[in-house]
Amino acid sequence: MKKQLLFRIVVSLFVLVGLRGLAEAKTFTIDVLTEFDFPGATSTHPTAINNFNQIVGSFVDVDARTKGFLREANGAFSPAIVEPNDFGLETFAAGINDPGVVSGYFTGRGAIFSGFFLSGSSYTEYVVPGAHDTFVTGINNNGDFAGASSDGTTGKTQGFINVAGNVTPILIPRASYMIANAINNNEQYCGYYRSGGGVHGFYRDRNGVLQYPVDAPASTTIFYGINDRGWIVGSATDLNASTTHGVLYIPPKLFILFDYPGASFTRFDGINNKGMITGDEGDDTFGTHVHGFTARVVLSPNGD
């Protein structure tokens, strides 16, 4: 299923710029371009987009098996991505960099999760030393990557980044579950964590400081993608109405919420340096009527 679309949501607001608190009026426009599904899929979930507009993600087939996909900028799909040692019928493609290396994770023997990288047709598996489960998510152009690991005993899932081969855990006090979903070329990263029954976003800012909790107003917030400008995308679910919106966050304070026309939930999953976004939308978050889409962010002075 593929539809050519052009929906426009215009948000006029004031953005604070500079150290003097100067307010400059800006208009943010989000144009939805295309809805897409992997051929024959019952559900399509994109996760990342690189600067060549290649998109990766996962889909569920008619046999309820999860496989990865790569969608080219022209809309063509690769064959399904299935890690050779996937014995659990789950391969998740989670990230892609500009050289085209795909990162992800899969279930192997014993329902144990391991990370993988796919370069061309070659797979390389990765496990955090000492971990029971490893989830590899985002990857940048240097081959640095983000993800999470668990010990298989306490049930705690710990976010990490791997820069130049060095694994660094992300430390947030009292977090019971955490995952880093993306890392950009400036070694900024983002993700989300659970603490005290709440779900919150986090990110590493331009000064190297870990910022948390970061939430859209009156919402639980999950961050999925970050570009080199430090723009972050994700989802925000209303605390009262339980409606899930796509969210564009421009640090330190600007949140823009977006609802895909006609859908009951919307997520923004990845963003590149050109402001191109990939996301998913549908009738319910984990159901069978979930579709991928592309959109773009246009920023101009108010009144242009």
Q: Please name the amino acid found at residue 220.
A: T
Q: Could you tell me the pLDDT band of residue 293, with boundaries at 50, 70 and 90?
A: very high
- Total domains, the chain: 1
Structure letter (DSSP) for residue 81: B
Backbone angles phi, psi at 103, to 5 degrees: -115, 155
CA distance to 66, 147, 161, 176, 274, per residue, from 144 (Å):
25, 11, 8, 25, 21
- What residues form DSSP beta bridges with 245? 236
Q: Could you tell me the pLDDT band of residue 300, with boundaries at 50, 70 and 90?
A: confident
Say what the pTM is: 0.91
Tell me the two tokens of residue 295. 């959109």
What CATH number is associated with residue 270?
A: 2.120.10.30
Position 4 pLDDT exceeds 70: no
Q: Could you tell me the pLDDT band of residue 63, with boundaries at 50, 70 and 90?
A: very high
Q: Could you tell me the pLDDT band of residue 155, with boundaries at 50, 70 and 90?
A: confident
Please, are residues 237 and 243 in contact by the beta-carbon 8 Å criterion? yes
Q: pLDDT digit string (tens) for 228-259?
A: 999 999 999 999 878 899 999 999 999 999 99
CA–CA separation, 41 and 58 (whole Å): 10
State the number of CA atoms in the 13 A half-sphere of 269 facing the CB: 27
Cβ partners under 8 Å of residue 224, min gap 6: 47, 181, 182, 190, 233, 234, 235, 267, 268, 269, 270
Tell me the two tokens of residue 147. 């993800």
Task: Determine the structural domain holding residue 128 and report its residue range.
Answer: 2-301
pLDDT of residue 152: 81
pLDDT of residue 242: 80
Q: pLDDT digit string (tens) for 108-137?
A: 999 999 999 999 999 999 999 999 999 999
Share of the chain above pLDDT 70, in %: 88
| Ramachandran category for residue 89: left, alpha or beta (phi over 0 → left; psi -120 to 50 → alpha) | left
**Average pLDDT value over all residues in the chain:** 90
Tell me the two tokens of residue 133. 């489960």
Instruction: Please compute the mean of the pLDDT values over residues 214-228 and round it to a whole number.
Output: 97
Q: pLDDT digit string (tens) for 268-284?
A: 999 999 999 999 999 86
**DSSP characters for 131-200?**
-SEEEEEEE-TTS-EEEEEE-SSS--EEEEEEETTEEEE---TT-SEEEEEEE-TTS-EEEEEEETTEEE
Q: pLDDT digit string (tens) for 87-105?
A: 999 999 999 999 999 999 9
